[in-house]
Chains A and B, each alone.
Chain A
Amino acid sequence: MFFRVLKKDQIPTFIEGLAVDYEVIAPIAKGLAYVFAPVTCGARVVLDYPTTIVPPTAYFLKPKEALLRYNSADGEVVETVKDDRKRILFGVHPCDLNAILMTDKVFLGDYEDPYYKARRESTLIVGVSCTPRQSCVCHMFGANEVLQGYDLYLTDIGDAYFVQCSSVEGAQLLDTLVETREATAEDTRALQKHVARFRQTLGEAPDTTQIPLLFDARYDEELWEEIGSRCLSCGACSAVCPTCYCFDIVDELDANGVTGSRVRCWDSCLNSQFAEVAGGHDFRPTRASRVRHRFYHKFWAYPARYGKTMCVGCGRCYTACKVGINPSRVVAALQGDVGEGEA
């Protein structure tokens, strides 16, 4: 790997330099929280943010987008222009980077989604290290570590960032826009210190060995009724989750009643009609069956297909949930480590 050291006071210059040719999406403060938003002014960017409300995956799978335009009178269809604007997602945490790799598996698999792909290919990603919060459990699911998926990755080493350069484009931008220096042995020691602190804050990771097996074997148990009896089916958890990607497709007509768009929009498996078919049969009629399904998808179905748990432990769902349903507690309850009422 190719390493550089970038002084923190260079960040605004870097962002503003990038903003000349790219749309820069970075974390900024919004009220008491943080959001990813387009920025041109480098001073607005907050890189030591705790987490954002909506995850950066929303820039690849948009909350709502038109896939096709059509003329309903003659059946004529055109694909909408694919959004391949040059973009940089700046300041993405390890959990969210891992989440992007997970949605990649779905949207760039056997059937490539051309809309997702266009945005993915035209977007550079600059990752940044974080300070774990109380609700973070990334280390439970191996999402505390970033091995790929970024162009540049910044690790906080005090008054500077230790920068890993993984793509040519990323390295060139860094070299042309800001002053950096080669990493010295002292910088590497500072990096080591950061890693030690990071590990200490997260604490020891609970063991999640054989979680899919336990999910499979404990499918019919009362635990799910208990969790289901609390769940409100509000869908807040799936709306903020970086790995949730359920969607719906609907046709919208323009005011002229003839032309229109086929629109894809976020959906949630917690919505009551999500699995209902013609004739009124609903395969998941109860809240308990739906909240269980959400967990099964993350901890059993996705791993069965793609080999990895589909939760990065970012804690967003737990923070958003009015009744405090928490994936790490659910996992612990399945393992028998905490009582079922505490899931």
Chain B
Amino acid sequence: MKKHVRVDASKAYRALEQNPYRPWAARITSITPLTEKETLFEFRIIDHEVREHFNFNAGQFMELSIFGVGEAPISISSAPSKKGFIELCVRNSGTVTGALHEMSCGDVVGLRGPFGRGFPFQDMKGHDVLLVAGGLGIAPLKSLINHIHDERQAFGTVTILLGARNPDEILFRQQFDMWRHREDFNLIMTVDTPDETWDGEVGLVTRLFDQIEVDPANTIGVICGPPVMYRFVIEKMREKNLPVDRIFMSFERRMKCGIGQCNHCAVGHQYACIDGPVFNYWEAMNLQEAM
């Protein structure tokens, strides 16, 4: 596998001679409540030229603006192949995300991006993929999963391990419930606390590692979830002998500018916004304060 190099996401802005702080107006085109706190929003950038130019990699994020309230960095949930629309899966966790949850279809927000280094999609081709998500971590992984789905024949075995606190908190549950029976995806879901509707696994996502086969020579691991989850999942992946530079993860940090200037998202000597948010484990081990 090739070196996971820093991408220069700034090119798109330079090509458009665009002020990186100026968001594009985008209209909310659909709103799908997922759980009590999380909702999937679909947006369409209003400017035709910008919309045509818009391209991204799974794992990159947008800065979402609600004018008069502020901005928040949110991972793109849709696949790059879904042209013309951008989906963001947002948890209502504060002022901006709360204000978004008050909005309706047809309302206008601001979006700027895409920012950051996403998953090394092209380099993952030809490999088996092991994806592990906890809670809201599925938001950026959803983009990757859908992209893999679009080009399924380019990948080997695809295993997805999903963890949530309880069945009501599983994001995209309907879609994943159907996927459990697919031949081309090995999907296993688990919850900490089951209810009467639950017929899946119970326990932490790390427990699922006993049920899966991993070919360490040819597998790429991807982890996304709350900060506490990383250490334990990495341990499991290392037990399966995945090499340190083939385990990828996405970091969440406080962020303001998204372009490597405000310093809020510094992780050791790197920035989550331009060097990440996706880092491999080798890089993360070399970053102070990473985990």
Contacts and interface: CB of A to CB of B under 8 A. Distances in A.
A207 interface: no
A259 B57 CA distance: 34
B257 A277 contact: no
Contact of A245 (B13, B69, B261): B261
Contacts of A111: 10, 13, 20, 259-261
Interface in B224-249: 226-227
Contacts of A177: none
B17 to A, nearest CB: 10
Interface stretch (B153-161, B183-191, B210-218, B263-271): B263-271
Nearest to B258: A111
A277 B251 CA distance: 11
Nearest to B115: A111
Nearest to A110: B10
A74 B27 CA distance: 11
A316 B267 CA distance: 27
A68 interface: yes
Contacts of B108: 74-75
A81 interface: no
A92 interface: no
Interface string A269-301: 100001111110101100001000100110011
Given A71-B67, A75-B25, A75-B108, 8 more contacts: A70-B67, A110-B8, A110-B260, A111-B20, A260-B67, A267-B263, A275-B264, A277-B253
Nearest to A82: B19
A306 to B, nearest CB: 11
Nearest to A274: B264
Given A110-B8, A278-B91, A77 B261 contact: no
A74 B70 CA distance: 15
Nearest to B23: A77
B22 A75 contact: no
Kindly state the interface size class of chain A when it binds its partner: 35 or more
B288 interface: yes
A250 interface: yes
A140 to B, nearest CB: 21
Q: Secondary structure at chain B's binding surface: helix, strand, loop or mixed?
A: loop
B68 to A, nearest CB: 3
A304 interface: yes
Nearest to A251: B70
Contact of A278 (B10, B14, B94, B266): B94
Contacts of A106: 260-261
A64 B197 CA distance: 54
A32 to B, nearest CB: 33
Contact of A249 (B13, B257, B274): B257
B174 interface: no
Nearest to A106: B261
Kindly state the interface size class of chain B when it binds its partner: 35 or more
A296 B70 CA distance: 29
Interface string B80-101: 0000000000010110010000
B288 A72 contact: no
B282 interface: no
B67 A77 contact: yes
B263 A269 contact: yes
A70 B68 contact: yes
A30 to B, nearest CB: 29
A283 B253 contact: yes
B69 A251 contact: yes
16 contacts: A70-B68, A75-B67, A75-B107, A77-B25, A109-B260, A111-B261, A113-B20, A247-B261, A248-B256, A249-B70, A249-B71, A253-B68, A267-B262, A269-B266, A283-B253, A293-B289
B252 interface: yes
Interface in A37-93: 67-68, 70-72, 74-77, 79
B254 interface: yes
A79 B66 CA distance: 16
B68 A274 contact: no
A248 B70 CA distance: 11
A253 B99 CA distance: 15
